[in-house]
Amino acid sequence: MPANLPPEYFEAEKRFKHASASSEKITALEDLISTIPKHKGTDKLRADLRRKLSQLRKDVISKKKGGRGDLYVVQKEGASQIAIVGFPNSGKSSILACLTNANPVIAEYPLSTLTPLPGMMPFEDIQIQLVDLPPIGNESTDGWVSGILRYTDALLLILDMTDDPEIQAELLIEQLQQWNIHLLSGKKPDVEASTGVSKRGLIVANKNDLAVTEGSFIRLKEKYGNTYQCIAISALKKENLEELKRAIFEIAGIIRVYSKPPGKEPDLSTPFTIPSGSTVLDLAEFIHKDFLFNLKFARVWGSAKFEGQRVEKTHVLKDLDIVEFHI
């Protein structure tokens, strides 16, 4: 047992041991992991707990496919999974309906979303999964909602432009911090928090088509524009949705890379999607272990200094690169 574990660790450990339902175990274990300081002495403990968490999620998904289990784990599909966060009547479900193939309940009354609802958003040649969640502030759902937010790749913070969006943003960010979820700025080099989880985020101000919102987005950008990316849209009028799609792709933290067999044309039909910052060696490992061990060199079209340049295995790839492996 590593030294210097905080009191919150032992409280979360107790909750995990007493949890009965799978969703409760997953949430408790996520809380447990988030309390562990990130340093060399805790690497093994954190790795063991993450393996246990991964197995729990697999078990829940397996039960769900068999017709059992609860609804509080959303299996990741597509290139990335982005969770939609907001207060009641902010337009979360309308945005999901505009961007994906999902058919959520859209109503003027609060709490029309009761369970997680995923949908696939097409972006050029890939699909990104968006997940609509019950609104923040509901005690009956906040526990498992916070668990999904820890598991997802990035967050969309949806604000109602008619109701002091800068205050909504402040309250949402504060709630995330209480759950030990830290929103990365995206405007400057980020340093991940020493405890909890760090997530890329995008602030989306909805209902920009209404006259009463004049000046709301200006106030929002004055307060948060230097820290987070902020976009104003109208889900009702379908305004600025293409810019929103591009911004969602950017916070997903992925790039698209295409393969090219030596002497042949590249396959541009289906890209590999890998984390931003990945190298040639990372891509080789992602495709097949034989590539990783037998790779002699690679040529790159796109981010290289000239087309088809022979690059080092440590060459960092960029979006839309074409890579030719030589083994």
What pLDDT is attached to residue 70? 47
Read off the pTM. 0.76
**Beta carbons of 207 and 192 less than 8 angstroms apart:** no
**Contact criterion met (CB below 8 Å) for 170 and 220:** no
Report the residue count for the chain. 327
Long-range contacts of 74-78 (CB under 8 A, 24+ apart): 74/116, 74/118, 74/129, 74/131, 74/148, 76/129, 76/153, 77/118, 77/120, 77/127, 77/129, 78/120, 78/126, 78/127, 78/128, 78/129
Extract the tokens encoding 114: 């009761």
pLDDT of residue 287: 85
Residue 40 is predicted with a pLDDT of: 73
- Report whether 279 contacts 313 (CB < 8 A): yes
- 81-251, CATH topology level: Rossmann fold (3.40.50)
pLDDT at 69: 42
pLDDT of residue 274: 94
Q: Which pair of structure tokens corresponds to residue 306?
A: 């000239």
Consecutive 10-residue averages of pLDDT for the chain (327 residues): 73 79 72 78 81 75 50 81 92 92 64 75 94 84 84 94 92 92 72 75 92 85 92 93 96 94 88 94 85 84 90 93 91
From residue 25, how far is each of 12, 16, 71, 96 by CA, in Å? 10, 6, 14, 29
**Amino acid letter, 302:** G
Contacts for 109 with CB less than 8 Å, ≥ 6 apart: none
The per-type count for the chain, helices as H runs and strands as E runs, is 10, 12
254-326: CATH number = 3.10.20.30
Find the distance separating the first CA and the last CA of the chain, reported in whole Å.
44
Q: Which of 25, 325, 24, 38 lies closest to 180 in space, CA to CA?
A: 38
Strands in the chain per DSSP E: 81-86, 117-123, 126-132, 154-160, 181-184, 197-206, 230-232, 254-259, 272-275, 297-301, 309-311, 321-326
Q: What is the pLDDT of residue 75?
A: 84
Name the nearest CA neighbour of 42 among 91, 2, 87, 89.
2
How many Cβ atoms sit within 10 Å of the Cβ of residue 84?
26
| Equal fold, 81-251 vs 254-326 | no
Domain ranges of the chain: 7-65, 81-251, 254-326
Amino acid at 294: N
